[in-house]
Structures are given as C-alpha cells and as structure tokens.
Structure 1
Amino acid sequence: MKDPDSPPAEKVSAAADNKGHRQRLRERFRKSGEEGLADYELLEFLLFSALPRRDTKPIAKALLHRFGSFSAALAAPRARLKEIDGLSDVSVDALKAVHAAIARYHRAELNERQLLDSWSKVINYLQASMELCTVEQFRILFLDRKNGLIADEIQQTGTVDHTPVYPREVIRRALEHSATALILVHNHPSGDPTPSRADIQMTKKIIDVAAPLGIEVHDHVIIGLRSNVSLRGLQLI
C-alpha cells in the first residue's frame, strides 16, 4: 500500500534528475574549469547553493535573455534581478557577491604595484566596476609620488546622463589624502564612451585648479560598454 505522505513519483523523479544534472555539471567544471561550461551553465552553477532544491537552468537562461550577457547579469541592479522568476534575496546576494569578488580581485592587483606601470590592470578594474552601472558615477583614484594607489573613491553619483562634479571638492579630497596625482574616471550608461564637450571642459577646470597646488591630473578615463576612452590618449588634455 502506498504511503499517503510520500511525495508523488513525478516529484521524486524530477528531484533525482536535478541532482544528477548538478553532479554532471560539477564534474565538467572540475575537469575543464569555466571553459567547459556555457554562460547559462556557469550561472546555474553559481545559483546551486542559494537555490538547493530548484532547477536553476530556466532561471539562468532567463537571466541571459533579460540582460544579454553573463557579465550584465552579474552587474544588474538588485531590483531588476528580483524581477526574474525564482530569484530571491539570497540568490541575488549570491550573484552580487560574485560581481563584487571580480571587482575586488582587480583592485587587489592594483594595490600590488604602481598604477601607471600596470595600466591594463587599471582599465580591467574600472571596466569590471563601472561599465554596467545604470547611472553616471564620477570616481577618483588618488596617487602618491610613486604613482601608488592611496585611495579609490566614488565622489558623485548622478542620473543616466549627468553627474555634477565640483573641481574644488575634487582638490579638497586630494589634499586630505596628500595625493600628488589623480586619475579621474566616469562612466557613460549609454555604453558609448565618447567624451562630451562638458566632460572635456570639466576636466580642464580640475587641471587648472590642481596645477598651482602641485597636483597632476594624469588622465580622465570614460568607461563605456566593453570600451573606454582616455582623454589623454585622445590629446584632449
């Protein structure tokens, strides 16, 4: 006689299939690393612990469909992630923790050496941190005389296409950090890093205020989607 409290056979079968699928995915990951998994499979893998009883494949595919790429899914705002059916606060935390870990990894590499001796690492860090922000952020990297990183601060956060920047506030923070050089950074949520006339004018104002105080502005970098622009590289400053 069947136990009335036992789960239906189809639920038992689905749970067994899910367990087997997870095990096979883990084995492929152990054997081949991230190269062995498609983007949606890696997202599945990241959600295993947060969603121990759910089939994470449809959730992972929904994330890619909604946001377009693996990196965009990790960087998406919490509110938009929670619009995906099956994602709770705990599972969103899991994704955001991975995104934070990526940014922290790149920042740790910066702290190990002089910034201007590892420009590609500076750019990798800034892209990972800012390229998918949905509003403009103005960031400053404060450097010492050997171009070592003293501090990294987001000074202003604005709207989708504007961030108010006050040159004297920038220099005040530089003096507080005893910084002798700055790298200015902001993102364009549109994805196009082309500098505007206002970007160029604001940079020149900061340079004009900084120069008499012995503070050099090495560059102003604009971060776009999988792209960036250096005002120094374009000979605009």
Structure 2
Amino acid sequence: MTPPKGDAGSGAAAPGLGEAQAPHYHGHRQRLRDRFMEAGENALADYELMELLLFRVIPRRDVKPLAKSLIERFGSFAEALAARPERLQEVAGLPESAIIEFKVTEAAARRLARGALEKRKVLSSFSAVTDYCRTAMAYAEREEFRILFLDKRNALIADEVQGVGTVDHTPVYPREVVRRALELGASALILAHNHPSGDPTPSQADIRMTKDIIAIAQPFGIAVHDHLIVGRNGQSSFKGLKLI
C-alpha cells in the first residue's frame, strides 16, 4: 500500500513532528548574558539583573514574569535581595533554591564592601565607609545599630551589629557600647544605623543617644568620629551635619 503524500513513509517530515525547537526564552537568556558581559550592570534594568540570578536556579522556565513580580513587590533589585526569607517565601513560584541564591548574593556584596574597607584606614576613606554601611543595612526591613571599632591608626578592629529592633526603633545602651569598645581595645568608634523608612534624617532620639555615648566614652579616651544613618534614599553624617 502506498503511503499518503506527506506521511512519514514519504521521507518528508510532517508538520510538528520534526526536531523539537528550543523554548523561545533560551535565546533571550543568552542575549541577556551577552549584554551583561559586554556592557555591564548599568545596561540592565533591575528586573533583567533579577532574571540573570533566576536563570541559575530555574533552568527550564521563562523567568521574566517572576523577575518583574519581585521588583514590583519589593521595589528594587537591592530590596528584593535584602528581603527576609519568610517574605520571599510568600512569592508564588519562587523556589527555595532562589531564596538561597539571593541570600548568598547579598552576603557576597557585603563581603566585597567590607573587604574594600579593611584594606585602608577608615577615616581616610569615608566613601568606603558609607558604601559598606549602605550595602550592609540600607535595605534592611528592621533597624540595625552597627559599630565600627577603630584602633589608634583608625584601622578597623571589628564591625559588630549591637542590636536589631523594629521598623523604627533599636534599643541602644551607651554603657554597653563603651564596655565593648574597652574589651576590644578600641580608640575610636563610628556609629551607624539604618532607617527602614528610607529617610536618613536623624531623629531627636538619635541625637540624644549619640551624645550619651560620646559623654560616657570621653573619660576613657575613646572618640566617636561619626554617626551615619543610611536609608534607601541616601545617608546622613552627624559630623557633616555638625551634630558632633
């Protein structure tokens, strides 16, 4: 029996039965990678940078809708990375492996910023200090109070988070701050905390707390060089504002 024209027996492939085509997003992934490598991060929108991260953990799915959803929900690439794991778990379609990838990337950014700070005298590199504090805290959802402990040469001895509070308050105990400085043999401090609201303007409580620490530290020969407040919308310096 002669097979009908166009059947497999004729040697011509029937429509839809040939070699499977690669999903449309495969070409998009490679083009996005190429653009990133050739032009750098500034050539990509936040959702595109998010796509690059998601490529690594979701290999067989178009991740652009998920990337856009994350940016819309959290506000920016940085804020999505800094979001608490329990909030990320609320995002439909986001696997646990992606949340781990986000937290590893966030940790890597902090290590890079901290590494830049450790290689130089802190006071001679104010931009490195502010970059580090912004990377470490600017997008956190709760207030954190951080202290940079410095030696006599203004090199970094230690960087410690002394407290984590609510969205608008962190309890700080000035005597505990000075006690820790004495334990570490620090000669100077840089105080830093974040305002999750985004506005880095010092509050009256911030000013009072800073003055209390200065008053307790002074008899021990410990200087407070600055108090930085960081937020999504920028940063402020007590020294720059002539508050200390």
With normalisation by structure 2, the TM-score equals 0.88
- Matched residue type, 2:243: L
Q: Gapped runs of 5+ residues in structure 1?
A: 3-7
Aligned partner letter, 1:84: V
- Which of 135, 140, 155 is residue 128 of structure 1 equivalent to? 135
Deviations 1:25-82 (A, max 9, x none): 2222233232333221111111111111121111111111111212212212212222
Among 198, 215, 218, the alignment partner of 1:211 is 218
Distance 1:35 1:162, change over 3 A: closer
Report what 1:58 is aligned to.
65
Per the TM alignment, residue 99 of structure 1 is displaced from its structure 2 partner at its CA by: 1.6
Give the whole-Å Cα distance in 1 for the aligned partners of 2:33 and 2:86: 29
SS at match of 2:80: helix
Which moved further from structure 2: 64-73 or 110-119? Answer: 64-73
Shift of 1:135: 1.0
- Output the amino acid matched with 2:223: E
Which position in structure 2 is the counterpart of 1:5?
none
2: distance between equivalents of 1:226 and 1:101? 22
Contact persistence 2:134–2:230 (CA under 8 A): yes
- Which of the residues 132, 135, 145 maps onto 1:138? 145
Q: Deviations over 1:121-156 (max 9, x none)?
A: 100110111111111111100000010000000001
Alignment of 1:17-166 (within 5 A): 17-166=24-173
1:189 maps to 196
**Total equivalences in the alignment:** 229
Q: 2:206 aligns with which of 199, 208, 222?
A: 199
Equivalent residue in structure 2 for 1:232, among 229, 233, 239: 239
Moved more, 221-230 or 103-112: 221-230
Identity of aligned residues (%): 57
Distance change >3 Å, CA 87–CA 186, structure 1 → 2: same
Of 162-171 and 26-35, the range deviating more from structure 2? 26-35
> Structure 1 residues 201 and 64, CA, compared in 2 at 3 Å: closer, same or farther?
same
C-alpha displacement of 1:19: 2.1
Whether contact under 8 Å (1:137, 1:156) holds in the other structure is: yes
Q: Which has the higher Rg, Structure 1 or Structure 2?
A: 2
- 1:226 Cα deviation after fit: 2.9
The code of the aligned residue for 1:234 comes to L
Runs ≥4 residues deviating over 6 A: none
Letter in 2 for 1:141: L
Q: 2:4 corresponds to which residue?
A: none
- CA RMSD between the two structures: 1.8
